[in-house]
Amino acid sequence: MIKNVWTIYKEDLKRIFTNYAALIVILALCILPSLYAWFNIKASWDPYGQEATSQIKIGVINNDKGTEFNGKLINIGDQVVDQLKENDLMGW
């Protein structure tokens, strides 16, 4: 039984290597999925890296007028905008 399987396997390999069209199709079926995976992995390898996000332009609008709390003026909007200006990972 196993001998028959190996015989069929060897004959199939001989036929594949003597038929160039079949060989090209089989090689393409082996290579194309690898290329597809490679390009997808390369494209999404570091989506939050500085090269990927520093070119994105983001506008920030601060409509916070602030308030007085315990005799002290607090404006959270200005603090957030100041921190965003220090951050160079995005195009703020």
Per-residue confidence (pLDDT) for residue 33, from 0 to 100? 94
Count Cβ atoms below 10 Å from residue 50 Cβ, excluding itself.
Answer: 11
Per-residue confidence (pLDDT) for residue 37, from 0 to 100? 94
Measuring CA to CA, how many Å separate 5 from each of 1, 10, 13, 22, 53? 7, 9, 12, 21, 56
Which residue is associated with the tokens 């989506």?
A: 47
Per-residue confidence (pLDDT) for residue 1, from 0 to 100? 75
Per-residue confidence (pLDDT) for residue 7, from 0 to 100? 94
Q: Which residue ranges in the chain fall short of pLDDT 70?
A: 92
Q: What residues does each domain of the chain span?
A: 1-45, 47-92
Which tokens go with 63? 């409509």
Report yes or no: 76 and 84 within 8 Å, Cβ to Cβ. no
CA distance 44 to 50: 13
Per-residue confidence (pLDDT) for residue 46, from 0 to 100? 81
